[in-house]
Structure 1
Amino acid sequence: MALGLGIDAGGTATRWRLVESAGRCVAQGSVEPLTGHLFSAAAEERAKRIVAEMAQAVTQTGAPASIVAGITGLTRDTPAEATMRNIFSEAFKLPGAKIFVAEDMWIAYLSYFALGEGILVYSGTGSIGYYLSQTKEVIRVGGRGNLIDDGGSGFWIAREALKAVLRKEEESPGEGWTSPLGASLAKALGGTEWDIVRTFVYGGDRGRIGQLARAVGEAAQQGDEISLSILRNAGQELSRLANSLIKRVGSRPVALVGGGSRLHPIIAEAFRHELPTSVEVISNDVDAAMTAARLAATVD
């Protein structure tokens, strides 16, 4: 029976699912984060290594006949798309015609909506608003990376939290790290000394920093006002993405998805509050890797 491999590559992990043509998942797993930012030889070599590791794990169950991959940071019809397709082709010994690669939001959108049906707002390590028209035209808002924006994302939440704690510590030494937010961050960081914080932040990648957002969610669950304020602001930042797309494509159902939006209910509450009352908000999570795998399994 032909197998389809679906891949959902985000900022914190690359998840894969291997599915039979009937739609049953026969194997699944995850590897390191894979990005479409192939701007250097080193980045290409890293991508080759990660895909090779994935191929080794996948083929223990069976060789896929086709692959559909959604990869963060990848833009269609660019040299990076062709390079990534070649990397998969070599690792899985498949012709390029059997491999479809696109940005991760392409697959995520189809997990929730038919073409042109709704608006997707995603908060993971990064954030983006996304619309895929009936003619497959993509309209993106946000999604410009943490150096420019990514408002409401896990990275953004973590950065705002670190900034708040460190500024409080500068104003009143000892009060920043002893707050619920500070204590939660310190546990995740492994300490409070500046060298520890600096090494964690500047010695890792954006996905690792984004994971600190969980500590903000934990502090918010304890009623920490600073954490609640940051998460409320995150919801408002995400609503801006939705409202920008509503203004451009008209009123549509909006799906608020991604781990960053699930840190605390106040995010979704603030998001909903800023949208027109007539707009339906969808907040259930869907397995994008499974969507990709089922699409792959239907490829002739």
Structure 2
Amino acid sequence: MIRICGWVRLMEYVIGVDGGGSKTEAASTLINGKLMKRHISGSININAVGYEEAKRNLIEVLEMVKLEEKAKICVIGAAGLENEKNRKLIMELLNGKYAEKVILTSDAKIAYKTTQMGGGDKMILICGTGSIAYMEVNGKPLRAGGWGYLLGDEGSGFWIARKAINKILRGYDEGRQPTKLTLKIMEKLNVNKPQEIVEKVYSEMGIVDVARVAEDVAKAFEEGDEEAEEIMMEAAWELARLIKTLIKRSGIEKCEVYCSGGVFKTSNKLIEAIRRYVEAEYPNVKICRCSYRGVAGAILMAIEEAGFTVNEEVIRNLEGWANA
């Protein structure tokens, strides 16, 4: 930030980008956290949607939130950016156009940043299209999960959706009558017969589209559907396993775990189930809902990278627009 005769040039600003599995949210704020612009587009996870679609979505959000001049700092947190090839592609794409400095990191890192405004040990658990647990101990990052829909992401939105669709197809194989959950999912997918789901998924749906089926499973769980409960309780067990893995690796048995991501927005029961699984073994671990959206973490990182302290004014301004 430029200081002239003790006055701060307020129009210097930062950009934060949260690239989740299903959507990307970007915001531009002044150094004090005051929101200037915000925009949402599709996923920028190259591993999930490919480079061309990721490129279009990233350019869209940056074009929509930029101001007349370049931002001081732009922090982009997204799944898939651990991959050096993907990082290089994004840096070549941006090429200094939108900010004086661009920082690429993971969506887990920026989500974790939103938990760091108070004391004590913290962990973030993300359950959206994918799933991951993340924390830092003495500055060292620790993660569990987040290995993608083919190799992991247990308990995630995609995992839940795949489990539900698999149940439908098994029921069809065995000649069972469609269940209430089956009919709900078939209606969402706009198919008349269970076997039509296969063609729909393979020919028309991407990873993000499949993961959206999890919303219906989570809602059915909230309504007391037994079939949905079976799937969601298994998801809760898998997500609790991620938490317990990091507790064991870190040796920290007293901490706060913040739940973030689209699946948690649909299901309070899922958080309760995770809480029971974890607290049975680690009673001093507190499971709670994350208060801020991931983009707020990217903004916080950008403000600090610009050389400024996150003070009470910044927090107040963030609370005005970035609550989850």
TM class by smaller structure: 0.7 to 0.9
CA contact (8 A) 1:121 1:127 kept: yes
Q: Corresponding residue for 1:187?
A: 187
Please state if 1:142 is matched with 2:145.
Answer: yes
**Matched residues in 2 for 1:62 and 1:212: separation?**
41
- What's the CA shift string for 1:10-42, capped at 9, x where partnerless? 11101111111121111111111001539xxx9
Amino acid at match of 2:198: R
Q: Corresponding residue for 2:61?
A: 54
Q: Corresponding residue for 1:81?
A: 87
Any stretches of 5+ residues in structure 2 without a counterpart?
A: 1-10, 308-324
Q: Corresponding residue for 2:5?
A: none
**Matched residues in 2 for 1:46 and 1:168: separation?**
36
Label 1:156 to 1:171 Cα distance change in 2 as closer, same or farther (>3 A): same
Q: Corresponding residue for 1:289?
A: 295
Any stretches of 5+ residues in structure 1 without a counterpart?
A: none
Label 1:117 to 1:200 Cα distance change in 2 as closer, same or farther (>3 A): farther
Deviation at 1:154, TM superposition (A): 0.5
- What's the CA shift string for 1:216-260, capped at 9, x where partnerless? 122223321000111111111100000011111021222222122
Label 1:60 to 1:134 Cα distance change in 2 as closer, same or farther (>3 A): same
CA contact (8 A) 1:10 1:33 kept: yes
Q: Corresponding residue for 2:133?
A: 129
- Normalized against structure 1, the TM-score is what? 0.87
- What's the CA shift string for 1:183-206, capped at 9, x where partnerless? 210121111335642343223221
Q: Corresponding residue for 2:201?
A: 201
CA RMSD of aligned residues (A): 2.4
- Normalized against structure 2, the TM-score is what? 0.81
Q: Corresponding residue for 1:270?
A: 273
CA contact (8 A) 1:11 1:35 kept: yes
**Matched residues in 2 for 1:294 and 1:119: separation?**
17
Q: What count of residue pairs does the alignment treat as equivalent?
A: 289
**Matched residues in 2 for 1:53 and 1:43: separation?**
16
- What's the CA shift string for 1:134-184, capped at 9, x where partnerless? 32x2221111111122111001111111111221122235x12xx221121
Amino acid at match of 1:7: V
Label 1:116 to 1:46 Cα distance change in 2 as closer, same or farther (>3 A): farther
Label 1:45 to 1:284 Cα distance change in 2 as closer, same or farther (>3 A): closer
